Structure 1
Amino acid sequence: FCLAASMFLKQAFEGEYPKLLRLYNDLWKRLQQYSQNIQGKFNASGTTDLYVDLQHMEDDTQDIFIPKKPDYDPEKALKDSIQPYEAAYLSKSLSRLFDPINLVFPPGGRNPPSSDELEGIIKTIASELNVAAVDANLTLAVSKNVAKTIQLYGVKSEQLLSTQGDASQVIGPLTEGQRRNVAVVNSLFKLHQSVTKVVSSQCSFPPAAEQTIISALKTIHVLMGNAVQPLLTSVGDAIEAIIITMHQEDFSGSLPSSGRPDVPCSLYMKELQGFIARVMSDYFKHFECLDFVFDNTEAIAQRAIELFIRNASLIRPLGEGGKMRLAADFAQMEMAVGPFCRRVSDLGKSYRMLRSFRPLLFQTSEHVANSPALGDTIPFSIIIQFLFTRAPAELKSPFQRAEWSHARFSQWLDDHPSEKDRLLLIRGALEAYVQSVRSREGKEFAPVYPIMVQLLQKAMSALQ
């Protein structure tokens, strides 16, 4: 009977540990008040009989309020007596948190949990945190269990992701693998949102406990990013491939008699606009996490603008009619990247560069060199690169001198983001031109050459 009663008590203490802990906390508060009351009475009366009682208490080795050892913590000693029950409770708590996750991610399963199944997981998390709210240390311990639960959900979700080639295709409609990846990302997003809501609804939640759960949620956000990265990379690569086809078009023409370009924008720009509109409707609209999608697509939009300006600055030859069409392309570029953004103006420096570069197409080289946008908004290297367009064929652009294709030069620029490296390449092209003029015993340099040299010197000194 004693053994049975003992087992019953053990199970009761383990199962209802938070209640037991609350009783212990109440007991400790009362003992503290009792101690303070005795001390207060002694201080108030100063009578010898109370003094004798206090002396007797000091001699009592069992007294917990007047410790003999300086490192003795009476409250901790009291809590330690029920520590085995806490360990058992936390173990069962973790099982209660893990069980619904293991249930909705069966071995060989291919789909993430349904909304109802996810709601069940969230209710379990909320319940465990609510029950643990009786004590800050217990809340922290249960929060660590919740963090492990979030990580388990992430690991199980990651196993569902499709990493085959069809997961990153951007030619046809959504493949089965892409649909599954979208469903997994949406599921992770709902988990992130729901747990964040549970944490924010907790009263007087310890900061350490909150930080523990937030850290685990960050891994979910990273996993969402990893899940969409193959698709984002494919979209970015396709955009670059479309932009670079601008060099297959002829921008050398003079202005038509009407004074306006024959077409509102170039063929590559129409293709770019169509592609971006299609990937938004075919792929990205299926994600429920709009802010997350825009955070990623805005980065693609910024990169697209930078690639557009980079390639526009390389166009040679550029006639007056070509300038008009390129200016129209600049205006259309804003519309092209529009679907990728909340607002195009949110794109920051890329947007300002797009706006600032367009007027330079029609300005004299002297005006271009004195543009207030130089340096801060538009890098010097881009402007000097653009001025090669106005030079005779003998003054070769850096990529022409190296006998590189536009695509290879663009790759070189990606591999050398340092402005100094880019300026040194330009300097090499200008020095080669000087050698060329001298070798044919030329009497003068092209009018744009001294402006380019002056800009190069200004750029190099700005780097010092």
Structure 2
Amino acid sequence: NPTQVGTALQVFYNLGSLKETVSSIVEGYRASLEDNINNALDIKILTQPSQATTRGGPGRATMPTPGNTAAFRAALWTNMEKLMDQICAACGQVQHLQKVLAKKRDPVSHVCFIDEIAKDGQADILYAFWNTVTQILSSEFQKATNSSTFLKQAFEGEYPKLLRLYNDLWKRLQQYSQNLQGSFCSSGNADLLSELHQGEEDMQDIFMQKKQDYDPEKALKDSLQAYEAAYLSKSLSRLFDPINLVFPPGGRNPPSNDELDSIIKTIARAISICDIRDSLSCSVNKTVVLKNTVKMYHLKTSEVLSMQGEASQVIGPLTEGQRRNVAVVNSLYRLHQSVLKVVSGLTSFPSAAEHSIAVALETAHSLMESAIQPLLNSVGDSIEAIIITMHQEDFSGSLSNTGKPDVPCSLYMKELQGFIARIMNDYFRHFDCMDFIYDNTEAIAQRAIELFIRNASLLRPLGEGGKMRLAADFAQMELAVAPLCRRVSDLGKPYRLLRSFRPLLFQTSEHIVNSQAVGDVIAYSTILHFLFSRAPPELKSPHQRAEWSFARYSQWLDDHPSEKDRLIFIRGALEAYVQSVRAREGKEFAPIYPIMLQLLQKAMSTIQ
């Protein structure tokens, strides 16, 4: 009761012994706690049952026998729980005493009692007492565990239990602070009715007012650092063991599903042991353990990946190396999903810890990409090689009597459709993580459409029958890339490009130049390439003027993604045409030339 404590302090103040009395009380609490700590960790007291049943040489009483180790552990943790109660009670008393001293004033002189204590530099009683208690805890715990292997093993092996006791102690002290404020506010003593300082609502705030760089909770747990490190080391060892077991030296196979399940269960078990709402436990038993375990698994799986030529072949069935890579990707995916499930099931997981785990899991994603990259590269190269064969077909023909092309689509398009369907069935269907696969194959689909448009725009000569067949190829192109993606319409700009370019095949050059899609969806350089197909042979396309093959020009375009570079190269082809006309003393330019020149000038004005 604050009023009763205030009355007692007034008596000692009147007797002139306030300082001495307060110092004596606080010192009594300190001495009592020191005795309690020593008794709680006294190996002789903890092994008393063995003394009653065992006789022998010196030292036997301080060493638990194998049969009563469980009793020793039970006694130890019972003592630790009592010790936390004693620390909480003593700190509560000192905290209560400091609050009363801070609010109580002498009715005659109006001197605040805490100012009277402060004359000897003792105003911060709680800070001094807490600092002393935490130092005693650190020194006595270290001394006890250094002298007893059994105590050391108990605290290291059951560190989560020790940490839980410390967390509970700190929460109880915080709760006591809040309850104490309530008792002050309800006190009937006029001297104690003034509002408490806002910063004194709990122990943490009291300490922070006095010492900006002092963390009382950290000071409490500093005595656990050695046990934390030992527990972490053992946790990692327990988690690394099953990983090392399934990846023997020289082994070339990823773990089976059963072996991976064992690893995942071990991780989940380690995390669930210490699911405590505390940043320290997250660091020890969640963030560090998970991150390092995931890293270890990634390291081991990277060693069994096949990155040789057999990993990239797309001609025959899966090779042994490709099967191994599929198994690696599937195991990484399962581990990734399982760890995310474990993390999401935890009652408390700070954002910083989640970020740390996310960074570790990103390594799995990168490793999965590395495993499939040789195959993706080979598929992309094969698709480009097929598309470029469209130039080996004849698109110069006129319309047949029926007004329809002779074949519904070109041979290269049939080959492309068959190839994509086969590689999805023969290679990619073996992966469990189809969302991950689509994230990568959709990029191939986008690239395929861009290459198709590029080469289609370079076709020349292009007759009316060729236009009809090419229009059919446009429609078939959507079907060709469909297996590579979730929905073709999700491919973004390449899909809009495919849809926008097809109608231009049958429009006049003037309509094409004025189309809203030109310069927005369809690049100016692509349209200019297409208009070359409507020019006479002497107006050579840029690659013809340079005497390049289609493949070389396509590579040049890849190496020069800048629209300005491409337009300058096209301008060179137009200028060469003008020079050739003048050289032969021609009377006029081809009708398409002024239209192309106008479009080129418009395009150049938009990029300068």
> TM-score w.r.t. structure 1 length?
0.93
Instruction: Determine the structure 2 residue equivalent to 1:102.
Output: 244
Q: Distance in 2 between matches of 1:300 and 1:71?
A: 56
Specify whether residues 388 and 19 from structure 1 end up closer, same or farther in structure 2 by C-alpha distance, changes over 3 A only.
same
User: Which residue of 1 is the match for residue 524 of structure 2?
Assistant: 380
Q: 2:546 aligns with which of 379, 399, 402?
A: 402
Deviation at 1:35, TM superposition (A): 5.4
Deviates more, 1:138-147 or 1:312-321: 138-147
Q: Quote the offset at 1:131 in angstroms.
A: 2.0
CA distance in 1 between counterparts of 2:184 and 2:178 reads 10
Report deviation, 1:451: 0.9
Q: Is the 8 A contact 1:35 1:65 kept in 2?
A: no
Match among 342, 356, 360 for residue 216 of structure 1: 360
Extract unaligned runs of 5+ from structure 1.
Answer: 51-63
CA–CA distance in structure 2, aligned partners of residues 84 and 308 of structure 1: 65
**CA distance in 1: counterparts of 2:207 and 2:561, whole angstroms:** 67
What is the CA distance between 1:130 and its match in structure 2? 1.8
Partner of 2:417: 273
Contact conserved, 2:228 with 2:284, CA < 8 A, in 1? no
Question: What secondary structure, in the 3-state scheme, does the structure 2 residue paired with 1:372 have?
Answer: coil
2:353 matches 1:184: no
Give the 3-state SS of the residue equivalent to 2:519 in structure 1. coil
Quick one: distance in 1 between partners of 2:568 and 2:562?
A: 10
Aligned length in residues: 450
- C-alpha contact 1:277 1:339 (8 A) present in aligned 2: yes
Partner of residue 514, structure 2: 370
Match of 2:350 in 1: 206
Which residue does the alignment assign to 1:350? 494
| CA drift at 1:36 | 5.7
Partner of 1:28: 170
Contact residue 208 and residue 215 of structure 2 kept, 8 A = no
Indicate the residue corresponding to 1:132 in structure 2: 274
The correspondence for 1:112, drawn from 247, 254, 261, is 254
Per the alignment, do residues 247 and 130 of structure 1 end up closer, same or farther by CA in structure 2, a change over 3 Å counting? same
C-alpha contact 2:208 2:214 (8 A) present in aligned 1: no
d(CA) in 2 for partners of 1:355, 1:154: 43
Q: CA deviation at 1:258?
A: 1.5
Contact 1:140–1:206 (CA under 8 A) maintained in structure 2: no
- Secondary structure of the structure 1 residue equivalent to 2:458: coil
What CA RMSD, in Å, does the superposition of the two structures yield over aligned residues? 1.9
Of the candidates 232, 250, 265, which is equivalent to residue 90 of structure 1?
232
Contact 1:243-1:269 within 8 A present in 2 as well: yes
In structure 2, the CA distance between the partners of 1:146 and 1:333, relative to structure 1 (3 Å rule), is same
Cα 1:278/1:36, change in 2 over 3 Å: closer
Closer/same/farther in 2, CA of residues 79 and 373 from structure 1, 3 Å limit: same
Where does residue 56 of structure 1 map in the other structure? none
Distance 2:337 2:415 in 1: 37
- Match of 1:119, SS state, is helix
Deviations 1:223-277 (A, max 9, x none): 1001100000001111111111111111111111121111111111111111111
Q: Is the Cα contact below 8 Å between 1:253 and 1:320 reproduced in 2?
A: yes
Q: 1:70 to 1:461 in 2, by over 3 A?
A: closer
Measured after TM superposition, the shift of residue 38 of structure 1 is 5.8
Corresponding residue for 2:576?
432
Cα distance in 2 for partners of 1:66, 1:325 equals 80
**Residue in structure 2 matched with residue 11 of structure 1 by the alignment:** 153
Is the CA contact (8 Å cut-off) linking 1:97 and 1:146 kept in structure 2? Answer: no
Match for residue 557 of structure 2 among 410, 413, 418? 413
2:219 corresponds to which of 57, 71, 77: 77
Contact 1:167–1:177 (8 Å) recurs in 2 = yes
- Paired with 1:335 and 1:110, the residues of 2 have a C-alpha distance of 39
Shift of 1:203: 1.4
Q: Deviations over 1:291-314 (max 9, x none)?
A: 011111111111111111100111
**Stretch moving more, 38-47 or 377-386:** 38-47
Partner of 1:195: 339
Of 1-10 and 428-437, the range deviating more from structure 2 = 1-10
* CA deviations over 1:373-415 (Å, ceiling 9, x no partner): 1111111100011000001111110000000001100000000
Cα deviation, 1:35-66, whole Å, max 9, x if unaligned, reads: 56667666736599x9xxxxxxxxxxxxx969
**Quick check: 1:140–1:208 contact (8 Å CA) kept in 2?**
no
Take 1:253 and 1:69, find their aligned partners in 2: how far apart are those partners? Answer: 90
Q: Is the 8 A contact 1:245 1:268 kept in 2?
A: yes
Matches within 5 A, 1:148-187: 148-187=292-331
One-letter code aligned to 1:281: N
Give me the identity figure in percent.
Answer: 75
Q: Which is worse superposed, 23-32 or 200-209?
A: 23-32
Q: 1:72: how far off?
A: 2.9
Amino acid across the alignment from 1:117: E
Aligned in 2, Cα 1:9/1:47: closer, same or farther, shift over 3 Å?
farther
Offset at residue 103 of structure 1 (A):
1.0
Q: Distance in 2 between matches of 1:322 and 1:69?
A: 85
**Cα pair 1:129 1:139 within 8 Å, conserved:** no
With CA pairs under 8 Å and 6+ residues apart, which has the higher RCO, 1 or 2?
Answer: 1
Alpha carbons of structure 1 residues 36 and 89: separation in structure 2 relative to 1, 3 Å: same
Instruction: Kindly state the Cα deviation for residue 78 of structure 1 after the two structures are TM-superposed.
Output: 1.2
Amino acid paired to 1:253: G
Does the Cα contact within 8 Å between 2:207 and 2:214 map onto a contact in 1? no
- Unmatched runs of 5 consecutive residues or more in structure 2: 1-58, 65-147, 193-205
Equivalent in the alignment of 2:375: 231
Partner secondary structure for residue 160 of structure 1: coil
Residue 164 of structure 1 and its aligned partner are, at CA, apart by: 1.6
